[in-house]
Amino acid sequence: MKLFDELANIVKRRGDTALHVVAFVGAFVALVAPFALVTYPQMVDLPMHAAQTSALRHLSDPSYAFDQQFELHPLGYPYMSSYALGAVLMSFMSAIAATKIANVVLLAFVPAGLATLAWGMRRSPLIALAAVPFAFSGMALWGTVSSLSAIGMMAMALGLTLRALERPSPRLFVATGAVLALTFFTQVFRAPIAIASVAIAWAFSDKRRETVRPLLLACLPTVALLVAFLALRPAGLRPDIGPITLRTDRLSLVFDTVVSELMSKPERAAARRHVAVVVAIGFATFGIAWARRATQPASSFERRAHWTLVCTIALCCLGYLFLPDRLGIYFGAAAREATSVTYLAIALIPNLPRELSLRAAAVAAMLWSALSITDLAILRFVPFDTRLEAFTSISEQIPKAPKLCYLVYDEEYAMTLVPAYVQAEKGGFLSYHFASIGASPFAYRTDEAAVVPPPAPGAERFQWRPELFDLAEQGPFFDWFLVVSNVDRSLIFVADPTIRLVDHRGDFWLYTRTTKP
Amino acid sequence: MSERAQRKLKPSLESLHRSFSRLSPGLLAITALFVAGGCIAIPFVAATFPKMVDLPMHAAQTAVLRYYFEGRPDIRAQFELHPLSNPYMSSYVLGALLMSVMPVLTAVRVATALMLCWVPGGVATLAWGMKRSPLIGLAAVPLVFCELASWGFINSLAAMGMLAAVIGLTLRLLDEPTKARCIALGLLLVLLFFTHIFRFPLALAGIFATTVVMTRDPRRWRPLLFPVAVALALLVVFMVFRPPSMQAEAPELKLHTERLPEILLDVAGREIDEKLAERLLDHAMLVLALASAAWGISHAKRREQSDDARSFARRSLVAVGASIALSAFAYLILPWRMGTWAYVYPREATMMTILALGMVPPLPREAWMRWVAVAALSVSSFRVVDRVALQYGAFDARLESFRIVAARIPPASKLCYLVFDREDPADIHVPAYVQAEKGGYLSFQFANFAHAPLHYRSDPEAVVPPIKPHLWEWNPEWFEVQRDGAFFDWFLIHSKRDPSDKLAADPTIVPVAHEGTWWLYVREGR
């Protein structure tokens, strides 16, 4: 009995700490496990991000030939944070491993951002567990990890701001400024929304006068960066937005947009289950908070923080309902706001109840749901990784700094940019690169000394339209040709007898030019 | 507004608020009843021929019951009535009575809708029995149009609602016995007996489980003696008089845990329309949200309850949980078919869902919260039935050509029907509507089945169509005109291409009409 009482006391004292540790470890495992188990995660744009990370790392190394083709414009297209982190990591690990870790670190901002927002609203950060599955949502599967991460950074900036406004401290304002700047260098289009949310928080604050100066100073660097971006951005990011119309038809598509067409039926079912878990926890918590409002009324700070969040969500919602599907080369402009709205909505859940048993039940439910989604992500990643074993062995035959033309005839979206891993590891030139459509901090050099691949036909659609490849027009530049197809496509090269088949493994066919044309 | 005006207005507003608070529970109940009834009625108003596979056969049996008591010679020559050995009667009796005041097809639809009202009605009674708000019955409205309804298993669904009501009544009878509750339980058990015999023993098991959980004091079981005695008497009569075909062999029982992930599919249907599935999921999410909020509020206020109230709440939850466990056990071990009874284990998924709704925590007492809950459930239910009504309307429109062709068939005809090229399983028994409206004979009838209360006569004076083998109606290619067609004068065939070759071997059969995919033939010279 005495032992039982002692145990009960220990649980009472340390239980909450233990719960946070369990939540952190669980979130870590849920996030990292799929990436740790494979070499090539199944994310559509990830190979191109690996290539660009490698370009940043080896820009000054002539053996990679990046300096012959690229020039860096970090302010014109400030998609830099994952590349910078990956480039640092490439100092002591392979390009692909470094890219994976950099992306995992960025994805960690998803739950971390929500935890900071909850902390900023004086609520339990445990609710951030509900955000872990976003790391495997539609945006992640498309490989737009920076975009997803930037949403987490926006939440983090808002959380820090709320705390800074409640109890002004230089450290909190500096942290806010740093996160805003990081947001700018992660996904530039999220930065103005982050600043707007900070402004909304200030507008609701009861310490506006004393916090206006430090908050302005915190935002100033990011504002300056945005001004620089507006001046230096490439043509593809100066789109004619066109008429703005209200798209109420999108309201019924929120779930499908967040989940995306890339997800399988079991993954969609798991996503729905997760929504059910979060809904149950949210409404149960609301019920408890509502019933206890007489004895535990919400403070004025909590009310103001709540309305700040509501207005921020409303802003993102307006973006979802009004923005066009694309802004120049920026695809899915409206769709990304569906993710930001659903992500931020989690923070509307009132503070988890005091009782350790109820908190533990909520943590258990969210962890179970998150881990079941992780399990499905592993089931998605592993077969893809196995399929790329053939790619690994065939690309070993490609020399350093190749002039590589790649054509992907494959229905699996994630295969489309896989050959870009060759550039990530070995440098060289690619027939299709984000730099050719201006969707990169790297632009092709335009000076006379530049060595640049010919423009890809069909511009940004070329990656999806290999049939547009013209051997006579584009072919002469390239020495190596990598075709991904389940049938023999050698007929493509029949008009050029200098191109011969080197190897064929699985769905990968490697050709090389035996003599220069 | 001036202070004086405010002071003048305040008492009026307070009086209005007091009146509203007094009337609100009644208004809520009326609103919920209106919404539930309206939602159930909408799809049946949208179509003459609702999209339910077995409904045409139920229409035929209902009409046959009516014609039987009217003494129509063609019906009396075929059928005999066995209400106790095959007590699948309640919807047929209701429909037959309604036929006194409305056309046949309207009576069938009204009877069906009224039977389906037992689903939300049963949940409401169960909630009342658990001392919770019956308004939660609204959450069950979409269940009315689930997979079982699409197959036309109306009595099965209604019996599930009745079982829920039986448990609710039992709870209240044990807690506060009154004569009215005792009689009500007895009547409900009788009604359940005559609705779906296979649900009846489960209801008795539910009463037993509820009693054991709620009280160990045998003196408190006394109010149950009369209703249970009546039920047992009926069961004994059934066991004595049931035909051999209803004495199914004990099925091979095996635990099928692989069925667990499919529970929702078995409730909603595996071939369910995508949009309808989305709306059902939305409704489920809404119910989950309401239940979670209600739980949170009741958890926070639990110390305000008396010990007795808390004890009753706990035990009633366990009692309902026991019934759900029984259903779950049946779901996991029963086979898909037992004799002629199909779709056996999947029905328990719907039974579990109906009972689970009774476990939704008590709705908050505040009137405005209840209004929000009722409004949300109403909108959600309406979204579901709206989609169902669209489906029924589309099916109904497709049967326009059947209406035109069937109008040519005279009363009391000997009709053979074959359904090829089914666009939908609901096409399969459509020709049975001819017997429903005009009497006569059908090549395939539920009278073939053991559970039908109206059987084919077996005496020498009977005039009865040839008995068809099991699954005959699903296999029209088995038909051979010289072997199977001799009894019939009229032939109604559903086929995308000309089916005349099926009847070519009998030159006395000639085409009469053709509209869309419906072809009508008659035997000349009889």
Divide the 526 residues of chain B into consecutive groups of 10 and give the mean pLDDT of each group: 74 78 84 95 94 95 93 91 85 95 95 97 96 94 94 95 96 93 94 92 92 88 90 88 68 83 88 89 95 94 87 93 93 86 90 94 90 95 96 94 95 94 88 95 84 85 87 89 92 94 92 94 86
Q: What is the pLDDT of residue A58?
A: 94
Q: Is residue A229 part of a domain?
A: yes
Place of tokens 């296999």: B475
Which residues of chain A make contact with B299, given a CB cutoff of 8 A?
Answer: 284, 287-288, 291
Q: Is residue A94 part of a domain?
A: no
Distance from B147 to chain A by nearest Cα, in Å? 20
A406 shares its domain with A361: no
A141 shares its domain with A233: yes
Considering only CB atoms, B289 lies closest to which of A272, A283, A290, namely A283
Considering only CB atoms, A291 lies closest to which of B290, B292, B300, namely B300
3-class DSSP assignment, residue A226: helix
Chain B residue with CA closest to A270: the answer is B261
Hey, is the C-beta of A315 within 8 angstroms of any chain B C-beta? no
Q: What is the pLDDT of residue A365?
A: 96
Question: Cβ separation of A287 and B292 shorter than 8 Å?
Answer: yes
The rounded distance, in Å, linking the Cα atoms of B470 and B473 is: 8
Q: What is the pLDDT of residue A3?
A: 77
Distance from B282 to chain A by nearest Cα, in Å? 10
Q: What is the pLDDT of residue A456?
A: 75
Whether the Cβ atoms of residue A195 and residue A151 lie closer than 8 Å to each other: no
Q: What is the pLDDT of residue B469?
A: 81
Distance from A122 to chain B by nearest Cα, in Å? 20
* % of chain A at pLDDT higher than 70: 98
Q: Which of B367, B393, B419 delimits the end of a domain?
A: B393
Question: Cβ separation of B296 and A287 shorter than 8 Å?
Answer: yes
* Residues B442, B196, B178: CA angle, nearest 5 degrees: 145
Whether the Cβ atoms of residue A424 and residue A98 lie closer than 8 Å to each other: no
Q: Is residue A96 part of a domain?
A: no
Report chain A's terminal Cα–Cα distance, integer Å.
Answer: 89
A499 shares its domain with A394: yes
A contact test, residue of B297, B302, B365, B380 with most A CBs within 10 A: B297
pTM, entire model: 0.88
Considering only CB atoms, B301 lies closest to which of A284, A286, A291, namely A291
Which residues of chain A make contact with B289, given a CB cutoff of 8 A?
Answer: 279-280, 282-283
Which residues of chain B make contact with A289, given a CB cutoff of 8 A?
Answer: 296
Number of domains present in the structure of chain A: 2
B369 shares its domain with B407: no
Distance from B23 to chain A by nearest Cα, in Å? 24
B410 shares its domain with B353: no
Q: What is the pLDDT of residue B272?
A: 86
Q: Which residues contact A26 (CB under 8 A, 6 or more apart)?
A: A129, A363, A367, A370, A371
A271 shares its domain with A287: yes
Structure-block tokens of residue A102: 């950099």
Q: Is residue A192 part of a domain?
A: yes
Q: Which of B329, B358, B393 delimits the end of a domain?
A: B393
Hey, is the C-beta of A349 within 8 angstroms of any chain B C-beta? no
Q: Which of B352, B372, B393 delimits the end of a domain?
A: B393
Which residues of chain A make contact with B290, given a CB cutoff of 8 A?
Answer: 283
Residue B183 neighbours by CB distance under 10 Å: 12
Q: What is the pLDDT of residue B526?
A: 64
Q: What is the pLDDT of residue A516?
A: 58
Helix axes B179-193, B200-214, angle to 10 degrees: 150
Average pLDDT over residues A478-486: 94
Q: Which of A363, A380, A397 delimits the end of a domain?
A: A380
Considering only CB atoms, A284 lies closest to which of B281, B285, B295, namely B295
Q: What is the pLDDT of residue B247?
A: 62
Binned at pLDDT 50, 70 and 90, residue A1 comes out as low
Considering only CB atoms, B285 lies closest to which of A276, A281, A285, namely A276
A422 shares its domain with A368: no
Distance from B290 to chain A by nearest Cα, in Å? 7
Question: Cβ separation of B293 and A286 shorter than 8 Å?
Answer: yes
Q: What is the pLDDT of residue A4?
A: 75
A306 shares its domain with A434: no
Chain B residue with CA closest to A273: the answer is B285
A62 shares its domain with A192: no
Distance from B291 to chain A by nearest Cα, in Å? 8
Q: Is residue A254 part of a domain?
A: yes
Q: Is residue A124 part of a domain?
A: yes
A209-223, A316-330, B41-55, B109-123: least confident range: A316-330
Distance from B286 to chain A by nearest Cα, in Å? 9
Which residues of chain B make contact with A286, given a CB cutoff of 8 A?
Answer: 293, 296
Report the DSSP beta bridge partners of residue A481.
A405, A511
Considering only CB atoms, B289 lies closest to which of A279, A290, A292, namely A279
Question: Cβ separation of B288 and A289 shorter than 8 Å?
Answer: no
Q: Give the dihedral sign, CA A300/A303/A305/A311.
A: negative
Average pLDDT over residues A180-206: 95
Q: Which of A380, A415, A430 delimits the end of a domain?
A: A380
B346 backbone dihedrals φ, ψ, rounded to 5°: -60, -25
Q: What is the pLDDT of residues A421-441, one digit of tens each?
A: 999 999 999 999 998 887 889
Residue A509's domain spans which residues? Answer: 40-83+388-517
Q: Is the pLDDT of residue A517 over 60?
A: no
Distance from B323 to chain A by nearest Cα, in Å? 24
Q: Which of A272, A96, A79, A327 is nearest to A186 (CA)?
A: A79
Whether the Cβ atoms of residue B347 and residue B148 lie closer than 8 Å to each other: yes
3-class DSSP assignment, residue A410: coil
Residue B486, amino acid: A
A6 shares its domain with A140: yes
Q: What is the pLDDT of residue B452?
A: 81
Hey, is the C-beta of A279 within 8 angstroms of any chain B C-beta? yes
Q: Which residues contact B368 (CB under 8 A, 6 or more apart)?
A: none
B281 shares its domain with B157: yes
Chain B residue with CA closest to A253: the answer is B278
Hey, is the C-beta of A285 within 8 angstroms of any chain B C-beta? yes
Chain B residue with CA closest to A256: the answer is B278
Number of domains present in the structure of chain B: 2
Chain A residue with CA closest to B302: the answer is A291
Q: Is residue A303 part of a domain?
A: yes
Distance of CA B421 to the CA centre of its chain: 28
* % of chain A at pLDDT higher than 90: 73
User: Which helix (H) or strand (E) is A86 found in, with range?
Assistant: helix A81-89
B410 shares its domain with B329: no
Q: What is the pLDDT of residues A64-88, one digit of tens each?
A: 999 999 999 888 889 899 999 999 9
Residue B509's domain spans which residues? Answer: 400-523
User: Which helix (H) or strand (E) is B280 found in, with range?
Assistant: helix B274-300
Residue B267, amino acid: V
Q: Is residue B65 part of a domain?
A: no
Which residues of chain B make contact with A275, given a CB cutoff of 8 A?
Answer: 285
A contact test, residue of B263, B280, B292, B303 with most A CBs within 10 A: B292
Q: Is residue A91 part of a domain?
A: no
Which residues of chain A make contact with B281, given a CB cutoff of 8 A?
Answer: 272
Average pLDDT over residues A483-502: 92
Complex prediction ipTM: 0.84
A141 shares its domain with A228: yes
